[in-house]
Each structure stands twice: as structure tokens, then as C-alpha cells.
Amino acid sequence: MRHQSIILYFVFSAVGALVSLFFILLISINTIQQTSLESAKNIAQGAMESISLRTANLTNDNSWWDEAIREALINRNDAWLSEYFGLKGMASLGVSGVIIIDASDTMVFHHIEDRPLEKDERAYIQYQIQPLLNQAKSTPLNISTAESFFLVWRDKLFSGAISAFTPVQPDTLNYTNENRGILVFLSEINARSLQQISTSFSLQNLRFIPKNKSPINTENAATRLKLYSPIGDEVGHLTWHPPSTASQLSGLLIISLTTTALLIALVYMLYRIFNKKIGKMHYELADALIKQKHLRTNLTLQSKLAGNESPDNVIEHLADVLESAIPQSRCVTYLLDNVTHRITKIAAPSLDEGFIQSLKTIRTDQDDDSLTLFNGTSWTIPSLYSDPHRKYLNQFDVSFLKSAWSESMVSEKGERFGGVIIYREVEGQPEEHYRNLVKSNIAIAASNMAFCLNNQRMEQLAYYDPVTNLVNRHLFRILLERAIQHRKRHSFSIAILHIDIDHFKHLNNTLGHDIADQILVQLADRIAGCVRQSDIVARISGDEFAILIQVERINIGLDKVAEKVLNTLRVPIEIRGKTIRVSASIGIAVDEKAQLTANELLHRSDEALRTAKESGRDQYCYYDAQLEEASQSKRLIEKELVNAISNSEFRLVYQPKIDMIKGTVNGLEALIRWRSTKLGDISPDVFIPIAEQNGQITSISDFVMEEACTKLAELQSHGFKHINMAVNLSARQFKDRELVDKLRSVIKRHRLKPSHLELELTETMIMEDKERARTTLRKLQEAGLKLAIDDFGTGYSSLSYLQYFRVDKLKVDRSFVMNIPDNSNDMELTAAIIALAHKLNLQVVAEGVETEAQSGFLNDNNCDEAQGYFFCKPIESDDLIDVLLKMEKQYPLENKISN
């Protein structure tokens, strides 16, 4: 009777709960149906506003307005309009039409769907958007704004936006007040874009219906969204089918909840009836059996470990004991190096050897779902069929394994140094008593291994690299010393290959230390695979490796070894879905005569490596005493450059430029000279490239510009009011985003006219990044500065790029002039350069003129300017005014103001 009353109690309770839930569902479904229609309308309206906002943002992007005002409204450049507003070029922005309207409401450019508008079409569109045109005209030009609208044209719906031209530069306002215009973008909202909205927001059959195609119906008003033109006319409406998921959901919920409630009540009652009767008896019996089994397995393991076992034997005994104690199991025990995150030892008595070897290749710190059994304290996989870890099993004949779980080996200090994985032939969670059995046996094994592992780890840290597991620098030095002693007794030769990974610091900074360490591990494995087992491979610093080779005839195979290493390292590396390419530089030092010490051999390999890196990287070089001397000289120059400016060791000299047509002196070129207090006079050809490499060229360039402008101001104060000064720009200066502002500042400080300062650039500088160079050149010319291409003919040797870049002068390189009149080819090339440059309205300057014949040839070919020793050598700053006054008799200073 008691059991019957309990059953009736749960039955009545379940029925009452279900009836209450049913009424609540009815009320909720009605509310959902009412709100879903309004929600769908808000979604459609928001999607259309998003489309309008995108077109408005595109119109509001004023990155090209300065040039658009000048080319579209002032110059009326049709070619420019076709290039920048042609619909083929704008299609990638989702634009279907472009209209440009000038201040008098005239359409100067109009294309819709890749064709110009007809006269009546232009009138219709202009009438529709006239209110927004008036509003755009009244907006101040220094305020970025755009007004969006909808328009129906030929029964097609367009989203558009209107914006007045808004200049980027404030000074552009000075000439746009009289030439302001309007830009209109149109984007067609077609069936494809409506389908994308339907898919994204779960709307059904979303489409646009023009006003004249379907009368407005008041039924199902929530499924319609009206759209209006700028003049307030209704252009049509959007329509869609309302959601109908609420009714389906209600039935499913009622059936599911009813069934679930009845099953829960039934199972609960059965559980209560039988659990009390047999639960206690079963628990006591199972607990006794488990304790007996635990005790037996513990005693078995302890007996096997009674001697002083090594860690390898410990994990083998542990695997055997656990497999015999747990039915239908395959056990894997392993030791882990927490520094390298690699598995060092594995014991798996009943698993395939190939599978074991595959596990040795993994790193437990990798972010990989398939490694959960290795990188956690405890983990369970009830079904291997649906787990990523299965990929390690599929390539081997282990299909009989159905589930797995893992436990970690932890030291007394809480440090994890290994683990156990139990694979089973049945699915499901492991029984708790088996978990306890594994944990107790792990504790016994861990206490036995702790002392031995600590000793091994100390030795590993002392002599091996923790990331790559290669010999470290300390042990490499010890082995090198031993090899030298062995060489003295047995007449062997020794070689060191010093390997440096090119630009590895950049990989470290961009990819992070974890990925960089993974790359180093792969590179270390590749290098080790290129040499014999008797050769020693070491990691001696962050991105540097070394190979120690001992053979009887050392010079025979070193080239092959170096080439093999370079080719192996060039193979792309795949890590976490990324393809990474690296290269290396190798320095080789050989001690064939058995005379060098360890320090000398290491020094020579380091010098050879430096040579390989300075020669362009991705190559190998042998030690060469002469190259070392040159390298030391370079390093000495680098050291002295640091304090050259503060010690006032730099000075400028000035070489006059002669107008070949008028026979007058019309300018100067500033040239830097360096007289080091320790090294004496050093040519610019020597120290300028070094300064470019180490970054000191920036301070040197600033010094040159300041000194040249100071001298130019001094000359003008002595009456040379219009003489020009040419200054060479460095590559780093040209890339400086603040270059124009800096030049304006120094010009203003010295009260100079920008047109009196001429900047000389090389072809290589402007061709490195053409678009950025073009922008920089335009800004320099807008600032009033003159531009010249220096050393023309030695770089790209092409005049075609001069149509792309706007400059004022070309300077023909001295290598062409020096062979006149002996070399007819140089004469023809020089004459051709002068003629073609004049066709492009460019002046030509010839440098390096040293003979009268050269001067006559340049004069005969209408060269504009020339400079060289034939006219005058570079002049010291203190002597410049006196020399210029003396040259006036032979080459009158054209712009000198007479006293």
C-alpha cells in the first residue's frame, strides 16, 4: 500500500504539472506569433538602412576629393573621370551608378549600369534627388556629410547617397569655393542582395514590388515595408512571408515534455523499490573485491620495483601490472620532459610499434584537441570514434580500441613528469575502482622514479638545449676541446659550420615565442638529418647552430654538407595552418694544419658567418683573412660614425653648376666630407652605405640639410639672391612621413624660397614603392621644391617611369660622361637621354665633366647644366664666396646683384 500511494502521488503531480505547462505554452505561443511579425519588419527595415548607410559611407570617404575637384570640375579631364569613376573599377565597391554635378546643376559625368544616361533619364533622376542636392550645396565644405535615398528607375530599386565635394587639405578650400560640386553613388538592390538579407535574418521570400506593379493591400500589413523617394513619393514596398515556427514548436514541446515527465516518474519509482534492497549488499561485496585487487596489484608492482630500477624499467613494469589488472585494456606509460614538452620514454607492451613511434613526435604544449590525453592532469574519452584523438589510431590496426582515459604522474612538489593512458576495448566511462587502482600504482612508481629523474634532469639542463634537445654551447665547447686533443694524436682535421637563421628575430616578433620555438625544433631536426651520427650538432644561441665535423680530408665534403643544410632549411614549414619560409647563412672554418685553438676556430667561423650575412644571406662562406680585415675596418667605421657629428668631424663642400646655354654659374651642389680624428679622411662612397645600414644616415642627412640651407642663406645675404642649392636625399629620408614638414621648417627658419632648394633622388629610391613615392614627390612639388633624378642610367635605365613621376631635372651619371669622346656608345646614349628628356620637358644636368671635349659635346647636344673638375672642384665653405666672385669673370653669376 505504501508503494502504491507513492506511485499515485507522483502520477497526480506529473499530470498537474503537465496541465499547467500546457496552458503556459498556449499563452506564450500567442505572444510569440504577435511579436514575430513586428520583429521581421524591424529586421527588414534595419537591413535596408544598413544598405543605405554603406552607400553613404562610400560617398563620405573623401580620400580622392582634392584631385576630383581639380580634375572633374576645374580641368574637366575625361580620361581621369573614366579611370577613377568608371563602373568597371567601382564595381568592386558595389556601385551601379556614378553621377558628378557641378555648381550649375549640370551633370558633368553620368553612368548607370555601365552606360551614360539619356537626356530624359538625367532630368528624371535630377528631379527626384533635387531636394537632397539643395541640402548638399548648403553644407559647409569642411564638414563631411552624405544624404542617402531610395530611387526606382526602370522598375529597379537603387539605394543612393549624395555628398558635396569635401577637400582633405584645408588650403584646398581657397579654390573650391567657386567650383564646388556634388557626387552621387547609386547601388542596385537586386534579387541577389535581397536573398542575402533573407538568408542572414531568416526572412522568407523577401522581394521588392514597385508601386505601379501591385496595388497596396492593407491585409498582412506587417509583411510590407514602404519605401519613399527624396521628394516624398512612394516608390514601392518590400514584402515577405511571416515566420511560422511557433505552432511547430508548441506541439514538439508538449509531446517531449509529456514523455519525459512520465519516463522520469517511472524510472524513479523502480529505482526506489530495488535500490534499497540490493544496494547495500552489492556495495559491500564490490568494495571488498576492489580492495583485494588493489592490494594484489600494489604488491605485484612493489615486488618488481624492489631493486634499484631505472625509470625505463619502472614504466615498463607499471604498464604490465595495469594491463593484467584491468580487463580488456591496453596500457601506455610514458615519461615527459616539461622543458621541451616532449615524451622521452614510452612503454606499451600490447600496442603496435608504429603507433608508439608516432606518439613520440608530439609536443604536449600544442593547442590540439587530439592531444587531450597527454596535456591534462586527468582526461576521459568514452568513445574514440567521435574524438579527434582517433587520428593517431586510424593509421594502425587498433580498431578494436573503443575508449580511453589518462592519469598523470606527479611528483611530491606537484610537478608532472609522466602519465598513463588506458585504452579499452569497450566504450564508456572507466569504473571508479579502476581509476583508484591506476592512481595507487602511479604513486608507487612515482616515488621510485623521483630521485633518478632529478639526476637526469640536472644533467640535461647542464649540457643540452631545453627547446631542441641538442647539445648546448657549454657541452659543444667541451667536445670541441676534446676533438682538438684527439686531432693532435691522430692527425685528423676539424671544421666548424656556424649556422645563423636569417631574420629569425622578425619571426619571433610576428609569430610569437611558442611558434618560433616550434620552428627551431623543426630546423634543428633538419640540420641533424644532414650530417652523420658521428658529427656533433649544437644550438649555441637563440637562432644559431653549429656543426663539428672530424674527418681525415676535411675539405672534400664541406661544400656538399653546407649546400644540403641550406636546401633543407629552404623547404617551407607548415605550422598551425601557416606556411613559413626561412633561409640560413653559414660560416665555415677549417683547421687542416692542426694549429688552431678552440677560441681561434670559433672566431674564424664567426667571421665567416658575418661575411655570408653581409654578402646577402642564404649562402655559405669560408673564413678568409682579407675579408676579416675588411669586416673589422667596417666595424671601426661604424664605431667612429656614432660621435662624428658631435665631434664636428663632418663638413660640406660645394661644387658649382654651369648653365651650358648661357655660360653662367647658376647653382651649387652640397657634398659631405668626413675627416675622422682617428681614421683620417674617409670617402662618402665608404661611409654612406654603412650609415644607411645602421640607421645613422638620418642624423647625417639632417646635418647636411641644415648646413646647406645655412650656407644658402649666407650667400643670399651677400648678394647671390637667386642661386640654387642641390642636396642629396637619402633613402631613409625619402621614406620619412614627416619629410615635407621638416623641409618646410628648415626653409622657413632660414627665410629661403623653396624653389631655391633642389632635392636629388636616385631611381632606386622612387621605384621601391611607386605609389608612395608618387605621393611624396607630389607633396614636395606642392611645397615649391625642385626635384632631380641623380645618377640617371645606373638604376632602372628607363625613361618610361618619368611619365608616372613628376620631376624637374635628370642628372646623367658620370660613367657616361667620362668616356666621351672615346666611346661612341656612351656618346650616343648621352645624346639620346638629353633629347628624350627635353621631349618630356625635363632639364638635363651632366656631372663629372673633366675635359674641354666633354664640355663641347654636351654644349653641342643642348645639355642644360654641367658640373665637374673642368669648371671647378668642390669648394670649401669658407672659400665659397671668394671663389664664386673669381669665377664670375669666366662664368658670370647670372643672378648676382651688382653693387
Residues 482 and 399 in one domain: no
Domain of 873, CATH number, reads: 3.20.20.450
Same domain, 370 and 431: yes
Sheet with 584-591, side-by-side order of all strands: 536-541, 544-551, 493-501, 584-591, 620-622
Same-domain status, 232 and 135: yes
For the chain, the maximum distance between any two Cα atoms, rounded to a whole number of angstroms, is 137
In eight-state DSSP terms, residue 179 is S
Q: What pLDDT is recorded for position 290?
A: 57
**Residue with more model confidence, 837 or 89:** 837
> What is the pLDDT confidence band of residue 556, given thresholds at 50, 70 and 90?
low
Answer for the pair 688, 708: CB distance below 8 angstroms, yes or no.
no
Per-residue CA distances from 297 to 354, 396, 437 (Å): 29, 30, 8
User: Which of 422, 438, 463 is where one domain is finished?
Assistant: 463
Amino acid at residue number 492: F
User: Of 394, 429, 463, which marks where a domain is finished?
Assistant: 463
The verdict on 813 and 665 lying in the same domain is yes
Residue 215 placed within a domain: yes
The pLDDT tens digits of the residues spanning 828-837 come to 888 888 888 8
Evaluate if residue 285 carries a pLDDT over 60.
Answer: no
Domain total in the chain: 4
In a domain, 285, yes or no: no
572 with 703, same domain: the answer is no
CA distance 25 to 697: 78
Residue 321 sits in the same domain as residue 221: no
**Where do we find the cell 667596417?**
634
Return the SS3 of 206. Answer: strand
| pLDDT in the model for residue 289 | 59
The pLDDT confidence band at residue 404, using thresholds 50, 70 and 90, is: confident
Which residue among 241, 256, 280 closes a domain?
Answer: 241
Q: Note whether 292 and 298 are within 8 A (CB).
A: no
Angstrom distance (rounded) from CA 527 to CA 511: 22
Neighbours of 772 (CB within 10 A): 13
pLDDT tens-digit series, residues 762-788 = 887 887 778 888 888 889 888 999 999
Q: What's the CA gap between 120 and 780, in Å, rounded? A: 46
Please give the C-alpha separations between residue 367 and each of 45, 63, 71, 362, 375, in angstroms, as whole numbers: 43, 43, 56, 11, 9
pLDDT surpasses 50 at 896: no
CA distance 67 to 181: 13
Domain CATH for 530 = 3.30.70.270
On whether residue 18 sits in a domain, the answer given is: no
> What per-residue confidence (pLDDT) applies to 1?
47
Tell me the per-residue pLDDT of 678-736, one tens digit each, with 9 for 90 and over. 888 888 888 888 788 777 888 888 889 999 999 999 998 888 887 899 999 888 888 88
Percent of the chain at pLDDT > 90 equals 11
In a domain, residue 677? The reply is yes
What pLDDT is recorded for position 304? 60
In whole numbers, what is the pLDDT of the chain averaged over residues?
Answer: 79
Q: What is the pLDDT of residue 127?
A: 87
Interval 322-340 mean pLDDT: 82
* Residue pointed to by grid coordinates 584645408: 170
Rounded Cα distance, 268 and 256, in Å: 18
Q: Is 202 found in the same domain as 53? A: yes
Q: Any idea what the CATH number is for the domain that residue 333 is in? A: 3.30.450.40
Per-residue pLDDT, 786? 92
- Considering the domain architecture, whether residues 696 and 843 belong to the same structural domain is answered as yes
Of the segments 282-286, 397-401, 548-552, 778-782, which one has the largest average pLDDT value?
778-782
- Per residue in 6-15, pLDDT (tens digit) is 445 555 555 6
pLDDT band at 899 (very low <50, low <70, confident <90, very high): very low
Examine residue 234 and state whether it is found in any structural domain, yes or no. yes
Residues 459 and 509 in one domain: no
* Contact between 494 and 505 (Cβ < 8 Å): no
Q: What would the pLDDT profile of 155-187 be if each residue is shown by its tens digit? A: 888 888 888 876 656 555 555 555 678 888 888
Least confident range from 184-193, 272-281, 438-447, 514-523: namely 272-281
Cis peptide before 821 (omega within 30 of 0): yes
Cell numbers standing for residue 581? 619560409
* Residue range 204-260, pLDDT digits in tens: 778 888 877 755 554 454 567 888 888 878 888 888 776 555 544 555 466 656 666
Angle, helices 246-304/311-325, rounded to nearest 10 degrees: 120
Report the C-alpha gap between 776 and 743 in whole angstroms: 13
Same structural domain for residues 484 and 450? Answer: no
CA triple 868-872-875, angle to 5 deg: 110
Q: What is the CATH number of the domain that holds 197?
A: 3.30.450.20
In a domain, 774, yes or no: yes
The pLDDT assigned to 895 comes to: 45
Same domain, 506 and 605: yes
Give pLDDT tens digits for 645-683: 778 888 899 999 998 888 888 899 999 998 888 888 888
- What's the Cα-to-Cα distance from 474 to each of 162, 481, 650, rounded to whole Å? 72, 11, 46
The domain in which residue 541 lies consists of 473-623
Share of the chain above pLDDT 70, in %: 78
Is the pLDDT at 751 greater than 50? The verdict is yes
Is pLDDT at 809 greater than 60 in this prediction? yes
Element (DSSP H or E) covering residue 41: helix 2-60
Q: What is the pLDDT of residue 798?
A: 56
Query: Domain check: are 735 and 820 in the same one?
Result: yes
pLDDT over 70 at 122, yes or no: yes
Look at the block and give the residue holding cell 511560422: 244
- Helix (H) / strand (E) element for 620: namely strand 620-622
Does residue 645 belong to any structural domain of this protein?
yes
pLDDT at res. 539? 92
- Looking at per-residue confidence, does 414 or 580 come out higher? 580
pTM confidence score? 0.41
Residue 3 has pLDDT above 50, yes or no: no
pLDDT of residue 652: 92
Q: Assess if residue 277 is contained within a domain.
A: no
Question: What kind and span of H or E run contains 682?
Answer: strand 680-682
User: What tens digit of pLDDT does each residue of 864-881 get?
Assistant: 999 999 988 999 988 888
